[in-house]
Amino acid sequence: MIKNALAYVSRKKNRTLIIFIILTIVLSFLYSCLSIMKSNEGLEKSLYKYSNSSLSITKKDNGYFETEKFKEVKRIKEVKELTYEYNGLAKPVNAKVVTGKQKIERDNLPDEFNNILSLEATNNTKRNVLFTSGVFTIKKGRGINENDMNKILVHEDFAKKNNLKLNDKIGLNLLDNDNMAQDKEEKYEIIGIFSGKKQEKYTGLSSDFSENSVFIDYKSLEKTLFDGKAGLSNKINVYTDNPENIKTAFEKIKNINIDWSKYNLEKDTGAFEEIINSLSGIKHLIKIIAYSIAIGGLVVISLILILWLRERIYEIGILLSIGISKAKIISQFIIELIIISIPAFLSSLILGNLILKQLTGRLVESGSGGDLNIDIIKNQSLLDSITTFLQSYGILISIIIISVALASSMILIKKPKDILSKIS
Amino acid sequence: MDILEIKNASYYYGDSKDKILSSVNQKFELGKFYAIIGKSGAGKSTLLSLLAGLDKPKSGEIVFKGENIEDKGYNNHRKNNISLVFQNYNLIDYLSPLENIRLVNTKADESILLELGLDKTQTKRNVMKLSGGEQQRVAIARALVSEAPIILADEPTGNLDSVTAGEIIKLLKKLAKERDKCVIVVTHSNEVASAADIVLELSGKKLKKVNKIS
């Protein structure tokens, strides 16, 4: 049976080539469609992460509040990450702020406020809106993360003015929430230098300028201003894994026993919802294209195989007349196609990925208008791609078996005499 | 010794009650060469199909060694009891002669093909590259390696020139005698009929023994 199948495949070269091309095309499209459909599921998650969606807790009077009051938020299982924001002021020791033309002149300002920095303490600058929005960009070094202690990011102009570089240390005297200096200098290591200009509000202080903004780690802030205890914050951001969890987390936080008349709990999911709305049409289109290609491929391959088998009715008649069983005849046909599908499998690895790149490239281009460059292919790991490819191959083999069984049964239900009389 | 018997068999096509064969009875013995003759459309090929188990009679039965072939199945009958030789040879076109005969017996070697007049290179060449006479020899070789006791041939010389046809008939007759096979040939040819031990004529839906054609 296998020998005869090999003989057919190797000697009927033209027919084998046609079947090989068809199997390659169908397998490539099946793989592309399956990949897109799978990516479509992951796309929402990626967009969610990309959009930096979160819940934010602030005080209604925009003032400071104790983070300890919200310690229960950490225990909510849907909550994946918390970031704290503290906005304050700091006096640099042995360093001069960047000066510029102020729109507001203050005569009554004590001298010490002429050399003041705007300070933001956070446990993750990657989540900070000034960095995620691209207003500030890290030019050298890295951002602040949860494990950092006594680390600082400074503006490139401030660094230039004071001849500061990465790993240098700068002394700061932090002002508390009442803007009272602590007379306690703390040294911070520069781990990143950023550039950019934020929207500036002029109050007559040197800290109004973007160049005089610094970011320090939140742990240092707690150590310096709050004796290492849980400190104050202007804003707590709450992050979850997916859009469903953010709704659940919102409800659970709302149920925490706190005087909510003094606090705001808001969803910062606008960017995500905007993207999802603009992509919903594209998602629908992807689904329709994917299903159409999969069903079209199935129909084409079934019809081709039916024609291929009808052309072999002569052979079927001969084999039946010499006593070969129907099961053996069908098995030989299936083995032939499986043999042809092996090189088709290999060539589809290349063609399938090319089609996938073309399809996803055009879809993303048409869907985002060039603004949102989300690479669907990159969203899939190698293991995902292999799994998808094997699934596509499994579908192809199923189509082959079903088509051959259907087409053969149409011939094999006839009496051998009828088949043989058709031949003559 | 009777090997095959057609018992009171009738046949008609589809639902029409217009019979092609009506209550046909005949016994066939090993070691004999039978020729079935008759006009075109008389039902010779239909009769051969019934004997081969390619179709079943509407009434009556086909008996092999005293047992209705339906009992063990038609596929079993075709596989083990009979071998078919056709006018158009019915060989698998992408296989060599040796591979064709191995379809019915995987242990078959080229000796039978050499015995029937093919040379060594021809046994491995594509079967479609052989002449008509050579292809018919391959078909006969396939019938022989199956080791079935009955060889059924439908116009085996129909596509051959007279010299090659004579050789094929001699070969079939030799097989009947030397290998103790029951050879049943459906033919229009007087030459084939004259070579047969027993000539049967299909006429008026019945099978009748006729005097040997000389």
Sorted by sequence, the CB contacts under 8 Å of residue B29 that are 6+ apart come out as B1, B2, B3, B182
Contacts of B58 in chain A (CB under 8 A): none
pLDDT band at A373 (very low <50, low <70, confident <90, very high): very low
List pLDDT tens digits, range A15-50: 899 999 999 998 998 888 888 777 766 667 767 766
When pLDDT is averaged across residues A164-184 and rounded to a whole number, the result is: 81
Phi then psi dihedrals of residue B101, to 5 deg? -75, -25
On chain B, the residues whose CB falls within 8 A of the CB of A315 are: 92-93
CB-CB under 8 Å, A319 with B92? yes
Q: Percent of chain B at pLDDT above 70? A: 99
Give the pLDDT confidence score for residue B212 in this predicted structure. Answer: 63
- pLDDT reported for residue A347: 93
- Cβ contact A96:A206 at 8 Å: no
Of the residues B12, B54, B126, the best mutation for testing chain A's interface (the one with the most A CB atoms within 10 Å of its CB) is B54
Q: What pLDDT sits at residue A177?
A: 67
pLDDT of residue A379: 56
Q: Are the C-beta atoms of residues A407 and A334 closer than 8 Å to each other?
A: no
CB contact under 8 A, B88 and A420: no
Residue of chain A whose alpha carbon sits nearest to that of B49: A417
The CA distances from residue B72 to A289, B78, B79, B203, in Å, are 53, 11, 11, 31
Q: Does A106 score more than 90 pLDDT?
A: no
Q: Among A322, A325, A424, whose Cβ lies nearest the Cβ of B104?
A: A322
Least confident of A236-240, A289-293, B41-45: A289-293
Cβ neighbours of A244 (radius 10 Å): 11
Out of A4, A11, A321, the one facing B54 most closely (by C-beta) is A321
- Residues near A53 by Cβ (< 8 Å), separated by ≥ 6? A239, A243, A246, A267, A268, A269, A271, A272
Give the pLDDT confidence score for residue A126 in this predicted structure.
87
Token digits of residue A192: 């990143």
Q: Does A409 touch chain B (CB under 8 A)?
A: no
Picking from A105, A63, A108, A70, the residue whose alpha carbon sits closest to that of residue A86 is A63
Query: Is this structure's pTM higher than 0.90?
Result: no
Judged by CB atoms closer than 8 Å, whether chains meet at A322 and B94 is answered as no
Q: Which of A315, A321, A423 sits opposite B84 (nearest CB)?
A: A321
More confident residue, A423 or B141: B141
Better pLDDT: A152 or B188:
A152
CB atoms within 10 A of CB A280: 11
Answer whether B103 sits within 8 Å of A11, measured CB to CB: no
Query: Is the minimum CB–CB distance between A416 and chain B shorter than 8 Å?
Result: yes
Q: What are the structure tokens assigned to B30, written together?
A: 């090993």
ipTM passes above 0.90: no
Transcribe B55-76 into DSSP letters. S--SEEEEEETTEEHHHH-HHH
Who has greater pLDDT, B121 or A419?
B121
For A319-364, the pLDDT digits (tens) are 888 878 888 888 999 999 999 999 999 999 889 888 877 776 665 5
The answer to whether B54 contacts chain A (CB < 8 Å) is yes
Determine contact: A308 vs chain B, CB below 8 A: no
Identify which of A290, A301, A296 has the alpha carbon closest to the alpha carbon of residue A402: A301
Helix (H, G, I), strand (E, B) or coil at A175: strand
Closest A-chain CA to B146: A322
Strands B67-68 and B59-64: antiparallel
Mutation for B interface: A322, A325, A421, most B CBs within 10 A: A322
CA–CA dist B45, B86 (Å, integer): 10
Give me the phi and psi of A137, to 5 degrees please: -130, 135
What is the β-pairing status of strands A263-268 and A65-66? unpaired
Helices (H), A207-261: 218-226, 243-254
Residue of B nearest to A424 (CA): B88
Q: What is the DSSP string of A382-401?
A: HHHHHHHHHHHHHHHHHHHH
A171 pLDDT band, cuts 50/70/90, is: very high
CA-derived radius of gyration, chain B: 17
CB A309 within 8 Å of CB A16 = no
A residues 1-40 closer than 8 Å to B (CB): 3-4, 7-8, 11-12
| Token output for A197 | 């200009």
DSSP state of A71: G
B105 in reach of chain A (CB within 8 A)? no
The Cα diameter of chain B in Å comes to 53
Per the prediction, chain B carries an average pLDDT of 87
Residue from B42, B41, B29, B75 nearest B56 by CA? B75
Give the pair of three-digit tokens for residue A101. 């033309």
What pLDDT does residue B117 have? 81
pLDDT mean over B172-186? 88
Between A and B, how many CB-CB pairs are < 8 A?
63
Angle, helices A326-368/A270-310, rounded to nearest 10 degrees:
150
Nearest Cα residue in chain A from B126: A11
The residue of chain B with its CA nearest to that of A317 is B90
Q: Which of A336, A415, A419, A420 to mutate to test the interface with B (most CBs of B within 10 A)?
A: A420
Q: Is there a contact between A420 and B54 if contact means CB atoms under 8 Å apart? A: yes
Residue A99 has pLDDT above 90, yes or no: no
Inter-chain residue contact B103 with A319, CB threshold 8 Å: yes
Q: Do A424 and B88 touch (CB under 8 A)?
A: yes
